Chain A
């Protein structure tokens, strides 16, 4: 077990796409344990993606159990080769990133997503996530495609009325 070094932008490696995991085995699980330890050592992170520690494989961990206000969540999620199969709604929320210290900004994400992935045993799993947890999954999965939340910033001025319309449409 080890806390790994987190790459920070402008490290160009954060902009590269990651490859699918081939085999889920002990070596991979050992890496994921290190990735998890790294996430837990960070300041308040609700997720981490493998490329943030310089491993360019499609692996993310998300855990929305420790938000300041409780949000619906599935506990600690280990997602290998995750794929979003359905996006619903849009919402603006504020994001930051361990790979982009000292900056946060508003980002539009799908309000709910359905996804499939492999679990730690290499078994397929399917999930439906909403709200903050859906946002965290989309943020982490972006890392797998070399995208940062900086690539999706929206003006804070646009926030108010978009959100209100969105709430009324529910």
Chain B
């Protein structure tokens, strides 16, 4: 009987992390599912669905040598896989502006109230250390329609924060 686990790994970035971790998992009898892996600042982060026939303890033991050798912190949760049920985004929102605390809370708070279900979000801090800018890209489902989100965005993007919102018409051919 196999189970699905969500494996989280975080550590200082260096080349070869994915190769080493995935080799250890494959050698340990695991099957991989969906994943998000990304360099955030100078850190490499992995969120990875792992199918494994043993317990959390077993998976943790399997990962310990490779994680320790790469300097990665690890965390494992038992999950339901729910594969083959992707939710399709119907709206894409991009926001950018001079970086300051509170942008994400203000923007996403207003959007959530207007019915946004975030399916995918990536943000970056760019620019220079002296003049950092913040860039946010969101894909989601507009449960109350795109116009509700547009109105909400208009209210919260008046002071130097630029936002674009577009409806995603997915072509199924």
Taking beta carbons and an 8 Å cutoff, which residues of A are in contact with B? 42-49, 62, 67-69, 71, 93-98, 101-104, 132, 135-136, 139-140, 149, 156-157, 159-160, 164
Contacts and interface: CB of A to CB of B under 8 A. Distances in A.
B173 A43 contact: no
6 contacts: A46-B173, A68-B90, A95-B172, A97-B173, A136-B173, A139-B173
B40 to A, nearest CB: 13
A101 B172 CA distance: 10
Given A102-B85, A157-B122, A160-B137, A67 B169 contact: yes
Dominant secondary structure at the A interface: mixed
Contact of A97 (B86, B120, B167, B172): B172
A48 B171 CA distance: 11
Contacts of B164: 160, 164
Contacts of A103: 86
Interface in B81-103: 84-86, 88-90, 92, 94
A69 B167 contact: yes
Contacts of A69: 167, 169
Given A94-B168, A156-B120, A160-B137, A102 B173 contact: no
Given A96-B88, A104-B88, 4 more contacts: A71-B169, A95-B173, A104-B170, A160-B94
Interface in B118-171: 120, 122, 137, 139, 164, 167-171
B173 A104 contact: no
B172 A98 contact: yes
A154 to B, nearest CB: 14
A92 B122 CA distance: 18
A10 to B, nearest CB: 15
Contacts of A67: 169
A12 B92 CA distance: 34
A132 B169 contact: yes
Interface of B: 84-86, 88-90, 92, 94, 120, 122, 137, 139, 164, 167-173
Contacts of A104: 86, 88, 170
A162 to B, nearest CB: 12
B48 to A, nearest CB: 18
A136 B171 contact: yes
Given A102-B85, A104-B88, A156-B120, A139 B137 contact: no
Contacts of B168: 94
Given A102-B84, A102-B86, A135 B171 contact: yes
A107 to B, nearest CB: 9
B173 A48 contact: yes
Contacts of B90: 68
Given A102-B84, A156-B120, A140 B173 contact: yes
A44 B172 CA distance: 7
Given A156-B137, A157-B137, A96 B84 contact: no
B137 A98 contact: no
Contact of B172 (A46, A71, A156, A164): A46
Contacts of B173: 45-49, 62, 95-98, 136, 139-140, 149
A95 B122 contact: no
